[in-house]
Amino acid sequence: MSGGPEGGAGADRAPVQVTATGVAGGGPTRADLVGTALLAVLGLAAAVYGWRYGFLVDGQVGAGFLPVATGGFIAVASTAEIVRMGLQRRATRADDHVRAPVGDERAAAVPTGQAAPDEELDVFGRTAAQRGRAIAVVFGLLGAALLLVPLIGLLLSLSLAVLVLVLVVERKGPVAAVASAAACLAFGWLVFVQVLGAPLPSGALGLV
Amino acid sequence: MLDNLALGVATAVSPENLLWCFIGVALGTVIGMLPGLGSATGVALLLPVTLALEPVTALIMLAGIYYGCQYGASISSILISTPGDSSSVVLTLDGYQMARNGRAGAALAVSALSSFIAAIITIVGLMLLAAPIADLALRFGPPETLAVILLGLSTIVSFAGDNLLRGITMAAVGLLLSTVGIASGFTDARFTFGSLNLLSGLDFIAVLIGLFAIGEVLHQIHRGGEAPIRARFKDLVITRDDVRRMIPASLRGTGLGFALGVLPGAGATLATFMSYGLEGRVGKHRAELGTGAVEGVAAPEASNNAAANASFIPTLSLGIPGSGTTAVLLGAFVVFGLQPGPLLFEQQPALVWGLLVSFVIGNFMLLVLNLPLAPVFAQALRVPYSYLYPFILFISLLGAFAIGNNTFSLWVAFTAGVLGYFMKRFDFPAAPLVLGLVLGPLLERSLVQTSALGRGDLMIIFERPISAAFTVAAILAILAPVVLAAVRRRRAPGRARQSTPTA
């Protein structure tokens, strides 16, 4: 679903496409297998746990019917998917083994002296490793912002998160960061508090 | 009926009613654009503002908010892949892709025009068929509802991408998540692990904000961010070819949306998913779906608007809300001392017909507002992503809080965001999960009722003609692509063998 064609002026510096399954010509990755195995475990656990609510009660659909049915289906379907991926992986390895003397096509596709695709810079000039770190920082920042809500309130904590995101993750200047945070704060206060009257939590400090 | 129509026109075109209709649709558009604040919340929030108005004026304004929200939600889905509510999820598939292809303005124009087409057709239908259709809808018992939901779920084949099994599995995950909280028709609390917050279940709006808005932002960062889109003005304007492709899809979407919107509870979300599924089957350009096809915007958008209008049929003629928003509007009727039902058309003709005519006027206002503004709204994509995505995260989380005014929704949205990121990264489709989550409670309720009706025998679904037809259609919808793919695979080696000697 993702990864549509790029347009506009930035198309000549299109972002790097990285998908777990998308290694050219390759089979499923370990992450794919682990993710599907986690789903299988989740389904199995839900089915077992759901059984306690009663699959059938007096011969009729019970509260546990849907959890058991869906959990069981997830477990079976995920197991089937793991088997399919395992077979595909084996076939890919056998294929690679046959092709080995010819050389790695991906390596051959990268001209000498250029960085590997994953090392290409994105539109912000970041490498793949830096983008990975940026995601971890965004996760952490959002989590920290939510933890701060009981103390400084929702509007302030989210505005603070915007400030740090623009300043630290996007490496913009302090003026741009403060302006972005202030614009968000003003928009949130005006629309959600003043116009819509949403009771946003102001936290223990009760500032906004 | 013509007398009633003339009375309705006279009521709706009074300066005061026109002004409040405009205020309603404008406010609705803004509210709809904000994630989490769907039409039901918008109408509920602004209901107190209307208490000083005449009942007909107040209802015209509140209805304006309702369909204004539909337009607004489409704008945020198309531009930033952040659906305002569940009925706009499908728009993120092709609408967002059109925007990324530099055709945001055209996508917004297609959305506005197809909504308008649907609105006009369904309003005429509403005027002519309200009473007989409401009567027909009442014949839908639990087995028929169950069968319609199964047919809705079968549209997963259109969203699953290359891996159907994975798509169906994600729908099952959505259904499983919908079972969290107090069971429908039971007193058991399931999968709550002692948490009071989980008793009322996972709010699907918070989940979809996380999956789509936060998940999409994180995925963009992972991919390396999107360059600002500086499309040429002519790319922002709808073309003749767009219109040619839009009209049949809009008409199909309108028909489906009208039929499903009439059924109490079935709702606009199911209609949008099913109309997208229908385009995947019968659309001339079905191969382009998911890559920014005009039909992928027109059909769900038309069905969404048609379903929203059709949901007024059971509301006005039976007093049964056809959707969450019409349930709030039903409350507004009661606040003004009106009792929706069969007698409403006889006792309050000026109000009912004035309201119906105002739908036409309001939708026309929305078209006039949205069509020229489409290229202007599309300029939002010129903002560098470094500044755009912190703002998306900011309003998404504010919207998640505003759903139920509790901080637990924030954590649900955050967790769903993390999940959404990994799902996008590892190609697990999110749309089937949302479909499962939205339809889950409805599915379970009809399942329990059907089971009770058949004294434990669910096979009664095949004993009633309507439910049997829908169920068979659902089974065929799932199995046909699998069987056809297997047949094609079997034929392919034969063809390959035949073609090898000539190669």
**Cβ-contact B296, B95 below 8 angstroms:** yes
- pLDDT classification of A99: cutoffs 50, 70, 90: low
Top-confidence residue, A92 or B357: B357
Q: Write out chain A residues lying below 8 Å of B191, CB-based.
A: 46, 49, 67
**Cβ-contact B68, B75 below 8 angstroms:** no
The counts of H helices and E strands in chain B are 22, 2
Structure tokens at A58: 């007096």
Q: What is the pLDDT along chain B (503 residues), one digit of tens a residue?
A: 678 788 888 989 999 999 999 999 998 888 888 776 778 778 877 787 787 888 899 999 999 998 888 888 888 888 888 887 778 889 888 998 998 888 888 898 899 899 999 988 988 888 787 767 666 766 788 998 899 888 888 877 666 667 788 889 999 999 999 999 988 778 889 999 999 999 989 988 888 888 888 988 888 888 775 566 665 666 667 889 999 999 999 999 999 998 888 776 557 888 898 899 899 888 888 888 888 999 999 999 999 999 888 888 877 877 777 677 887 888 888 888 887 776 777 788 888 888 888 988 998 999 888 888 777 777 777 788 889 899 989 988 998 898 778 899 999 999 999 999 999 888 888 888 988 888 888 899 999 999 999 999 999 999 999 899 989 988 988 888 778 878 877 877 655 555 544 33
Q: Write out chain B residues lying below 8 Å of A189, CB-based.
A: none
Provide long-range contacts, Cβ within 8 A and 24+ apart, for A184-188: A184/A158, A184/A159, A184/B390, A184/B391, A184/B394, A185/A155, A185/A156, A185/A159, A187/B395, A188/A155, A188/A158, A188/A159, A188/B394, A188/B395, A188/B398
Structure tokens at B269: 């979300």
On whether residue B503 sits in a domain, the answer given is no
- What's the whole-number average pLDDT of chain A? 79
Structure tokens at B20: 């409040």
> How crowded is the C-beta side of A158, counted as CA atoms within 13 Å?
30
Nearest by CB: A60 against B97, B426, B456? B456
On whether residue B63 sits in a domain, the answer given is yes
* Window 9-28 of A, Cβ < 8 Å to B: 9-11, 13-21
Contacts of A90 (CB under 8 A, 6+ apart): none
| A56 phi/psi in degrees, rounded to 5 | -125, 135
Residue A123 is predicted with a pLDDT of 64
- How many structural domains is chain B composed of? 1
Nearest to B378 by CA among B113, B117, B109, B112: B109
Quote the CA–CA distance of A117 and A107 in Å, as a whole number.
10
**Averaged pLDDT for residues A92-110:** 56
Residue span of the structural domain in which B339 resides = 2-489
**Averaged pLDDT for residues A55-60:** 91
On whether residue B496 sits in a domain, the answer given is no
On whether residue B197 sits in a domain, the answer given is yes
Structure tokens at B225: 């961010």
Put simply, the answer to whether B426 touches A15 (Cβ < 8 Å) is no
Residue B316 contacts A, CB cutoff 8 Å: no
Residue A144 is predicted with a pLDDT of 97
Q: Write out chain A residues lying below 8 Å of B425, CB-based.
A: 19-20
* Window 95-154 of A, Cβ < 8 Å to B: 122-124, 126, 131-132, 134-135, 138-139, 142-143, 145-146, 149-150, 154
Pairing of strands A56-57, A60-61: antiparallel
Top-confidence residue, A12 or B201: B201
**Cβ-contact B329, B351 below 8 angstroms:** no
Quote the CA–CA distance of B449 and A61 in Å, as a whole number.
9
| B196 phi/psi in degrees, rounded to 5 | -70, -30
Question: Which stretch of DSSP H or E encloses residue B48?
Answer: none
- pLDDT classification of A66: cutoffs 50, 70, 90: very high
Residue A17 has pLDDT above 50, yes or no: no
User: How many CB atoms are located within 10 Å of the residue B149 CB?
Assistant: 23
Residue B393 contacts A, CB cutoff 8 Å: yes
On whether residue B28 sits in a domain, the answer given is yes
Residue A104 has pLDDT above 50, yes or no: no
On whether residue B494 sits in a domain, the answer given is no
Angle between helix B240-262 and B104-138 (nearest 10) = 30
Residue B425 contacts A, CB cutoff 8 Å: yes
* Window 319-358 of B, Cβ < 8 Å to A: none
On whether residue B252 sits in a domain, the answer given is yes
Q: Which residues of B85-119 are buried (b: 16+ CB within 10 A; e: fewer)?
A: bbbbbbbbbbbbbbbbbbbbbbbbbbbbbbbbbbb
Q: Is the dihedral of CA B310, B311, B313, B316 positive or negative?
A: negative
**Cβ-contact A63, A145 below 8 angstroms:** no
Quote the CA–CA distance of A42 and B175 in Å, as a whole number.
13
Nearest by CB: A7 against B186, B229, B386? B229
| B238 phi/psi in degrees, rounded to 5 | -70, 140
Q: Which of B33, B401, B415, B433 to mutate to test the interface with A (most CBs of A within 10 A)?
A: B401
**Averaged pLDDT for residues A44-60:** 93
Residue B444 is predicted with a pLDDT of 92
Nearest by CB: A198 against B292, B402, B422? B402
Residue B134 is predicted with a pLDDT of 65
User: How many CB atoms are located within 10 Å of the residue A16 CB?
Assistant: 18
On whether residue B387 sits in a domain, the answer given is yes
Quote the CA–CA distance of A73 and B318 in Å, as a whole number.
39
Quote the CA–CA distance of B407 and A175 in Å, as a whole number.
31
Amino acid at B373: L
Put simply, the answer to whether B414 touches A142 (Cβ < 8 Å) is yes
